[in-house]
Amino acid sequence: MNSMKFARRTILSTLGLTAGSSLFPSLNRRLEAATPPKRFLVFYTYHGTLPQFLVPTAGTETDFTVNSLMQPYEAFKKDIVLLDNVSFKSHAAVGSPGNAHQQGQNHALCAIKPLSQSLAGGPSIDQVIARGMAAKTKFPSLELGVNDGPSFPGYHTIAYSGPGQQLLSEGSPTKVWNNVFKGFVPSGGGSVPAPAMPSADAVKQKSIMDYVKGEVDAVQKKLGAADKARLDNHMSAVRDLENSLSLGGGGGSVAAQGMGCEALATPAVGSFQKHLDAQVKIMQMAFACDLTRVASINIEELSGGTSGVPGDVHDLIHATSPDNGGKRGDSGSVELIRKYHLVYANAFAKVLNALTMTDVDGKRLLDNTIVLWAGEIAKGSHAYNDHKWILAGSGGGAIRTGRWLKCNGVSHQNLFVTLARSMGVQIDKFGEPSTSTGALGLS
């Protein structure tokens, strides 16, 4: 038996099943008028993009035709802002030691002179937001990683709580689950037969839905039709996350008892896509359960096996850069790197799709979230200007979306000031003072 003890009320509260719950309006109408919580997510990838496949092919600021690298998330066109031509002015002002990727990495989210080639010199924007938010959650932030290689390079840290104070991206979904959701997995009394289970420990772990089935049944009787559907969706999402990580008694192709549970096979271990799916679900549920309101998903440089690029992926990315790459005119090579960036685009679409789940206020999570897609360089030439960054979600109406915004080389620090203010954190400057000149108008 697992020696850890779990409080039933804590689990029910996290699921939104206690008295006064804000998850279901028909249980507590008084909370409908409350301001819903805002959330901030950094989606971080490497090597910039191929701008000729990202910039809209035609149109105006609010009516544009998406290009091929935006097609995976075209359904969210009205929810995004394409920031066309954002620059790292902090890098131009103070420089940075190390190779080109290290220099860009140190300025991307911190925008201040680094301590060394591997250590940024100040807090990252996600941590400034996490520290400044009025509401305090169980976890100030979550740093999630997705990597199809053996490990993250030391300088691929993106989150910093202060100068040189790294917050490492955790690449193991199971470790994140155990840290964040261990209160969801009570000990004792496995409810599934042992033969198909992967281990004796898995038999001992009973699903949270099995544990609180009686309370769930009681709550359902009090709900209206809309809230019943909301409860079903919420509990199914928890069950899916348990099963994706082989937790909660659903780890084999066997029937587990519990509300709405169906037999699910254990996902393949080591798959980039399964890894991505698990981390996205963890982010989704951590936001939905209000365990944190700030997170990052750091997706490492892709291998040839994941991206479909034979040979040296890194070199080919540089060689196909549209401004100075030696193979920029080789259509076959350029197409390979377009498909490399398409993997990132599809991952971004998964994040946005996950954030469309129903929120506690009856809206999509995405409606009260701001997602920033950022990276260390703009394109394969190691450029630190002309970044094509993307925002998604309006942060509860703070940002006007559905736009292709030509930024004319504005400092990304001004963007960060705006993002912080949109999250309720009042700052006037961010990072290097000489290149932080105010806010970028996004409302």
- Give 28-39 pLDDT, tens digit per residue: 444 444 678 899
Return the higher-pLDDT residue of 135 and 56: 56
Tell me, what's the pLDDT at 62?
Answer: 97
Q: What is the pLDDT of residues 419-440, one digit of tens each?
A: 999 999 999 999 999 999 999 9
Out of 22-26, 56-60, 166-170, 363-367, least confident range: 22-26
Show the 3-state SS of the chain.
CCCCCCCHHHHHHHHCCCCCCCCCHHHCHHHHHCCCCCEEEEEEECCCCCHHHCCCCEECCCCEECCHHHHHHHHHHHHEEEEEEEECHHHHHHCCCCCHHHHHHHHHCCCCCCCECCECCCCCHHHHHHHHCCCCCCCCCEEEEECCCCCCCHHHCCEEEECCEEECCECCHHHHHHHHCHHHCCCCCCCCCCCCCCCHHHHHCCCHHHHCHHHHHHHHCCCCHHHHHHHHHHHHHHHHHHHHCCCCCCCCCCCCCCCCCCCCCCCCCCCHHHHHHHHHHHHHHHHHCCCCCEEEEEECCCCHHHHCCCCCHHHHHHHCCCCCCCCCCCHHHHHHHHHHHHHHHHHHHHHHHHCCCECCCCCEHHHHEEEEEEECCCCCCCCCCCEEEEEECCCCCCCCCCEEEEEEEEEHHHHHHHHHHHCCCCCCCCCCHHHCCCCCCCC
pLDDT of residue 442: 87
Per-residue pLDDT, 343: 97
In 3D space, the residue among 16, 48, 35 whose CA is nearest the CA of residue 325 turns out to be 48
Cα 103 off chain centre by: 23
Q: Where are the domains of the chain?
A: 34-173+271-435
Question: Can you give the pLDDT at residue 265?
Answer: 30
As a whole number, mean pLDDT of residues 141-153 equals 83
Rounded average pLDDT over 166-193:
66
* Contact (Cβ atoms closer than 8 angstroms) between residue 216 and residue 210: no
Q: What is the mean pLDDT of residues 65-72?
A: 97
Question: In the prediction, which pLDDT does 154 show?
Answer: 74
pLDDT tens string 182-224: 664 422 322 222 223 233 343 344 455 554 555 556 656 666 6
pLDDT tens for each residue of 334-383 = 999 999 999 999 999 999 999 997 666 678 999 999 999 999 999 999 99
Q: How far apart (Å, rounded) are the C-alpha atoms in residues 313 and 47?
A: 11
Task: Report the distance separating Cα 255 and Cα 120, nearest Å.
Answer: 49
Q: Strands 159-162 and 142-146, how do they pair?
A: unpaired
Question: How sure is the predictor about 241, in pLDDT bands with cuts at 50, 70 and 90?
Answer: low
Look at residue 90 and tell me whether its pLDDT is greater than 50. yes
% of the chain exceeding 90 in pLDDT? 58
pLDDT band at 40 (very low <50, low <70, confident <90, very high): very high
Which stretch of 253-267, 315-329, 392-406 has the lowest confidence by average pLDDT?
Answer: 253-267
Which candidate, 49, 45, 69, 39, places its Cα nearest to that of 57? 69
- The CATH number of 34-173+271-435 is 3.40.720
Q: How confident is the model at residue 255 (pLDDT cuts 50, 70, 90)?
A: very low
Q: Tell me the angle at which helices 272-288 and 225-244 cross, rounded to the nearest 10 degrees.
A: 140
pLDDT value of residue 231: 62
Between β-strands 80-87 and 403-411, what pairing exists: parallel, antiparallel or unpaired? parallel
Query: Does residue 11 or residue 57 have the better pLDDT?
Result: 57
pLDDT band at 416 (very low <50, low <70, confident <90, very high): very high
Q: Give pLDDT, residue 181.
A: 78
Q: Is the pLDDT of residue 412 over 70?
A: yes
- Measure the CA–CA gap between 79 and 391, rounded to whole angstroms: 8
What pLDDT, on a 0 to 100 scale, did the predictor assign at position 217?
Answer: 64
| Model pLDDT, residue 280 | 92
Tokens of 77: 């066109």
pLDDT tens digit sequence for 257-308: 222 112 223 333 468 998 999 899 889 888 888 889 999 999 999 999 899 9
Count CB atoms within 10 A of the CB of residue 436.
Answer: 22
Assign 151 a pLDDT band (cuts: 50, 70, 90).
Answer: low
Res. 70 pLDDT band, cuts 50 70 90: very high
Is 232 exposed, middle or buried (CB count within 10 Å of its CB: 0-12, 13-18, 19+)? middle
